[in-house]
Amino acid sequence: MKYNIKLINQVIRDFQQHSYRPQEITIYFDMDNTLCLFSPYGDPDSLRKMWHKGFYRNLPCFREVPYVLKELKNQGFNIKILSSCINSPYCVTEKIEWVLNHLPFIPPEDIVLVPEGEDKIAYIPTPKRSILVDDFYKNITGIYRVGGVGIKKTFSNKERPIPQVSNLMGIFSILQQLNIKK
Ligand SMILES: [Mg+2]
């Protein structure tokens, strides 16, 4: 996996120069392995169980997640959920239920669910004023390609030439580095 470091640095510099206010920025959060623990390494057991009723509804929420999203909303950021759904009879309804249950301050219209196989990035209408928090390499490189900032959610502390967090609390300092006005 290779990141286009030149492009990434350029996007970050452009973002910093604008000195945006939180109200001008939308932060999109992936769900599986970003807000909730799906399976860190895509183990076969989870890949089988994800088709079963109750799987998505019961995924454990990372402990810091409600606080971080609420706080970002209080700071004025637009917060949206952006998650891909497998083509099962349960995935869409259970993902919506999960958000309403764990993050009741997110209205249903701010939950964007993408059909399996479609490009998530196409669902971000204003990429240059958007930040995507996601664990998936393809989505992170995708958002930079259209001029938005990607923050990689990771389970390892492996060094990468991009903004990354292993705990979402790390987002606050990344937003400061992006020169967003309070
Ligand atoms: Mg994910």
CA 50–ligand 1 middle distance (angstroms): 13
Residues 86-97: pLDDT tens digits? Answer: 999 999 999 999
- Give the model confidence (pLDDT) of 126-172 as tens digits: 999 999 999 999 999 999 999 999 999 998 878 899 999 999 999 99
Q: What is the DSSP letter of 77?
A: -
DSSP alpha helices (H): ranges in 32-106? 44-49, 65-74, 91-102
Q: How many angstroms does the Cα of residue 30 sit away from the middle of ligand 1?
A: 6
Query: Of 15, 69, 26, nearest to 179 (Cα)?
Result: 15
| Report field, pTM of the whole predicted structure over 0.75 | yes
The CA 95 to ligand 1 mean position distance, Å, reads 13
- Is residue 69 a contact partner of residue 79, using CB atoms and an 8 Å limit? yes
Could you give the domains of the chain?
5-177 (3.40.50.1000)
Going by C-beta distance under 8 Å and a sequence separation of 6 or more, which residues neighbour residue 14?
128, 147
Please choose, from the candidates 63, 56, 50, the residue with its C-alpha nearest in 3D space to the C-alpha of residue 93: 56
Length of the chain counted residue by residue = 182
Q: 174: CA distance to ligand 1 center in Å?
A: 20
Q: How far is the CA of 52 from the centre of ligand 1 (A)?
A: 18
